[in-house]
Structure 1
Amino acid sequence: MPQKINIIGSGFSSLAASCYLAKAGYEVEVFEKNASIGGRARQLKKDGFTFDIGPTWYWMPDVFERFFSDFNKSASEYYKLNKLDPAYQVYFGENDSVIIPGSLEEIYQNFENVEKGSSDKLKKFIKKAKDNYDIAIKDLVYRPGITPVELVTPATATRMSRFFTNISSEVRKEFSNEKLRKILEFPVLFLGAKPSDTPAFYSFMNYADFGLGTWHPEGGMYKVIEGIQKLAESLGVKFQVNSPVDTIITENGTAKGITVNGIDHLSNIVLSGADYHHSESLLSKKERQYSEKYWKKKTFAPSSLLFYIGFDKKIKNVSHHTLFFDSSFEDHAKDIYDDPKWPENPLFYASFPSITDGSCAPEGKEAGIFLIPLAPDLEDTEDLREHYFNLIIDRFEKITDQKLKSNIIFKESFCVKDFKEDYNSYKGNAYGMANTLFQTAFLRPKLKSKKVDQLYFTGQLTVPGPGVPPSLISGKLAAGLIEKYKKN
């Protein structure tokens, strides 16, 4: 009989791992606490509108293709991708925005229009970013983070300085225009840390942005979840929803299964794609690898205040993805990382998927997603949510020159309390643990438990780190370790 593996959670990393493990011949069952699969990448449907609750950006299409090709499939067999042009728009004030086109040559020209001579600098910057991308995404991130030696390759040996300088200093050394600086610093926010705390090596995110472009799966990011679930089920994976895990069953230092809704489900191996801190809370204290002191010392990626809004008309002067950098980036970053508190004048992001995807809203209407990055573990009340909604919608109306409040059909919100309740997220973080220098690769929580045999972890708190493509990779890495250490 094949060995049985129980997987906790059904986010991108768990789904990816389930596919690899089923392909390897294991009997795989996935247990999801919520009513639908997808983890943080769930979907909200209301009154004919469709919203991605979690991730809305589709970057690094090559990572998705590499995943599907491992099963002799392609992404196009599961969902349709459209490249966005413009990729996104960045507002710096009223009638003051920079559009990032879908083509690299046009991006060079747009930079030149803002700052004379910047296109040549950008070409050199992107060439170095592509070099980092080829090293990182095609090689390093597919290593399981067991030892420091994994980072030492002929390619990295000559580029070590890029780990000890930061993105912010690299950008500011080359570009003097503050708008262009902010645009180039923006992509590393997906890694969950300030640009000044993110190694310059992570400029590969700029190549992912400008070089590979921004894409949109028709129907939203949840179509990717559904596609991977379909692949998993074709390989024999079983899914159980409304199945919160009470405990991880252990015996003599070995994982033996999980207890779900009071019922024991025995297995040979347990893999958790749920929040790492929460996963270890399902064990006795002596079986946990990391103490509360350990977690408190770590730099976590932000939480978020999100709004999902149905508008009764089309919205003008915005792109599918629109960033609002009309307030101080530095002040907002301090309120997230240095002195955690609700920001006085936050930056925010808005997504209008119905601009390019008619399936996301009824005809003539618009689906809007608004996001404010926040420090984790802040007080979260309905009054605070409403205050910040009014703050950003007022700015939005002024900056984009339109009135919208009276055109709101409905508004749903999601914040720190919801991240904790729905995902058991440590401190209500939205993106996991930040990829700072001392939280990279082998310095992140391990994929394989050091204290409990046959217990493994995957997801954005372990390697490679935050984001959807890294989560897919994390699932592959965890499955690979399980295969490597499997017992007869």
Structure 2
Amino acid sequence: MTRRRASAPPRTAVVIGGGITGLATAALLAREGLEVTVLEKQPVAGGRTGSWQSAGFSFDTGPSWYLMPEVFDHFFRLLGTSAAEQLDLVKLDPGYRVLFEGSPDPVDIAATRSENVALFESLEPGAGARLEKYLDSAVDVYDMAKKRFLYSTFASFLPLLRPDVLKRGPRLAQLLLQPLSSFVAGKFTDPRIRQILGYPAVFLGSSPFTTPSMYHLMSRLDLADGVLYPMGGFTRIISVIASLAEDDGVKILTGSTVTRIRTTASPSRTGSSSRRRPRATGVDYTDASGHPLSLDADLVVSAADLHHTETALLPRELQTYPERYWKHRVPGPGGLLLHLGVRGELPSLAHHTLLFTRDWKENFEKIFGKHPSVPDPASLYVCRPSATDPEAAPAGHENIFVLVPVPSDPTLGSGGVDGGGDPRIEAMADAVIAQISAWADIPDLAERITVRKTVGPQDFVQDLNSWRGTLLGPAHVLKQSAFFRGSNASRKVDGLLYAGGSTLPGIGLPMCLISAELVLKRLRGDTSTEELPVPGNAVPGRGSGA
């Protein structure tokens, strides 16, 4: 990319995938002056951040936690607007509720740090003061990660050789080598506290028993900063970014399935031309009617699953990450998803509710161990957006989204509507509904369900080309974090970049927005580690009609 930019900056770009990463990348490239086209295989854009409507219910089908708000705001400011202008954000209180197996007493995580310190003290004498120190550490590591690691393409390691990084070197090494579970256990004894502080590993597609303790930084996000919700649901974020991109001329073509990344011919192994790499020249794709088409472009950015991009869209000799690479990667969990429309109220469930099993380690071993199986009962997550957003459900009803982490195994099957999924998926869903009914004291939950849709790991393969049916992407274990995660630029093809949860910097909506920004850094040859400066001509108010 550096050699190519020196001679001819790209004027046109094609972005593969119209999820939040693809749309964000397209918007930034358009602001950079490129003519951009987004190709999305599904009938609508959104990817994992999708939506499903039925009988007056509006379900978010993917992400549902709004964390790291400053990352969202920075991204919007790069587009000349702000998160406050584009989104109606509400702080949740409680931030979330936790139900523990065998315990009748829920624990509500509050909206402020001081309240959570008091809460921890009530659960374990002395835990309040220890939480203060824990969160001080989380804030320090979070600020360091954001300043030196999250916004880095790692195209050069020289910018990391800064006094603030070198000074913390020994401590950072220790945090990388020690798992989060033992880091927490060394500070707290109450099993409820240990589970609350360990669960953020799931947001990273991993287990607290294998996730580096550096990721205790995640606790700053929910215990100190609080949890927000965008009114209208997370699909609102998609519509806003898509609208901003289209305002700058981006073309979004849905029902368009990319079948091949086109390149110049591979160089011969003899002569001076052997030093020249092939260059991306565009893509082949089929439209919604199945007609084959081609699109030329100076730059190709794949925001699709990295495994699919490399192994299905490129010939073997041009793959930076061929199939043998993935044999040694650790996938994040698969997911059983339930979208339930329920008659009547569900006050025992907060906007976010977590259900934690007593045998915590065994639960994760079943998901990530050598002999995986579906946990029963399972630690799971329930989202009730109708607790906050009246548009999520018709009057007198509740909207429930359930996520059950399961092994990343497509053979578990696909889901369906009104019990129409594979028998194993539907049986698992029945067991989950019964578990929520018992733990949350909703004895007639099953009888009150009026709308039901299930999603299984095979659906993630079919709809999102997800590697091994993983819900999120490669897990954030040590060998798949930061610069170990891989590059966001092809080492075999010039003009081919990658973005999204399966590449840098990792999993989650904020990471996807940062990933889009890293594409811009690659394009500019920018090896800095901090977020890009907001353009001086950015005018607050731009795009207010989105």
TM more than 0.5: yes
Count of residue correspondences: 485
> 2:478 — aligned with what?
437
Given the alignment of the two structures, is residue 246 of structure 1 paired with residue 259 of structure 2, yes or no? yes
What do residues 368-392 of structure 1 show as CA deviations (whole Å, max 9, x unaligned)?
0111101112422422112211212
Q: Which of 171, 181, 186 lines up with 2:184 in the alignment?
A: 171
Shift in CA distance, 397/34, structure 1 to aligned 2, threshold 3 Å: same
Q: Which amino acid aligns with 1:420?
A: V
Taking the aligned partners of 2:57 and 2:355, their CA distance within structure 1 comes to 24
Given the alignment of the two structures, is residue 49 of structure 1 paired with residue 57 of structure 2, yes or no? yes
> 2:327 — aligned with what?
296
Secondary structure, counterpart of 1:306 in structure 2: strand
The 5-angstrom pairing of residues 322-337 of structure 1 reads 322-337=353-368
Given the alignment of the two structures, is residue 277 of structure 1 paired with residue 290 of structure 2, yes or no? no
Q: Which amino acid aligns with 2:116?
A: I
Given the alignment of the two structures, is residue 108 of structure 1 paired with residue 117 of structure 2, yes or no? yes
Given the alignment of the two structures, is residue 458 of structure 1 paired with residue 499 of structure 2, yes or no? yes
Given the alignment of the two structures, is residue 411 of structure 1 paired with residue 458 of structure 2, yes or no? no
Q: Which amino acid aligns with 2:218?
A: M
> 2:423 — aligned with what?
383
Moved over 4 A (4+): 147-152
Q: Which of 3, 13, 29 lines up with 1:21 in the alignment?
A: 29
**Mapped contact 1:303–1:376 kept (Cα < 8 A):** yes
What do residues 207-240 of structure 1 show as CA deviations (whole Å, max 9, x unaligned)?
0111211110001111111111111112221100
Q: Which of 422, 436, 440 lines up with 1:400 in the alignment?
A: 440
TM-score by length of 2: 0.86
Secondary structure, counterpart of 2:246 in structure 1: helix
> 1:471 — aligned with what?
512
> 1:307 — aligned with what?
338
> 1:121 — aligned with what?
130
> 2:285 — aligned with what?
260
Q: Which amino acid aligns with 2:285?
A: V
> 1:351 — aligned with what?
383
User: How many percent identity over aligned positions?
Assistant: 35
| Aligned-residue CA RMSD (Å) | 1.5
The alpha-carbon deviation at position 355 of structure 1 amounts to 0.6
> 1:63 — aligned with what?
71
What do residues 131-186 of structure 1 show as CA deviations (whole Å, max 9, x unaligned)?
01111124420001335555543223223222222211211001000000000111
What do residues 417-450 of structure 1 show as CA deviations (whole Å, max 9, x unaligned)?
1100000001111111111111122211311101
Taking the aligned partners of 1:484 and 1:194, their CA distance within structure 2 comes to 35
**Mapped contact 1:11–1:41 kept (Cα < 8 A):** yes
Taking the aligned partners of 1:360 and 1:366, their CA distance within structure 2 comes to 8
Secondary structure, counterpart of 2:45 in structure 1: coil
**Structure 2 stretches lacking a partner, 5+ long:** 1-8, 266-277, 287-291, 414-421, 527-546
The alpha-carbon deviation at position 303 of structure 1 amounts to 1.1
Q: Which amino acid aligns with 1:340?
A: P
**Mapped contact 1:21–1:479 kept (Cα < 8 A):** yes
Taking the aligned partners of 2:437 and 2:98, their CA distance within structure 1 comes to 15
Given the alignment of the two structures, is residue 76 of structure 1 paired with residue 96 of structure 2, yes or no? no
Shift in CA distance, 332/392, structure 1 to aligned 2, threshold 3 Å: same
Q: Which deviates more from structure 2 when the two are superposed, residues 50-59 or residues 11-20? A: 11-20
**Mapped contact 1:167–1:198 kept (Cα < 8 A):** yes
Taking the aligned partners of 2:43 and 2:141, their CA distance within structure 1 comes to 40
Q: Which deviates more from structure 2 when the two are superposed, residues 396-405 or residues 354-363? A: 396-405
Given the alignment of the two structures, is residue 31 of structure 1 paired with residue 39 of structure 2, yes or no? yes
**Mapped contact 1:327–1:346 kept (Cα < 8 A):** no
Taking the aligned partners of 2:196 and 2:92, their CA distance within structure 1 comes to 17
Given the alignment of the two structures, is residue 373 of structure 1 paired with residue 382 of structure 2, yes or no? no
Taking the aligned partners of 2:400 and 2:28, their CA distance within structure 1 comes to 35
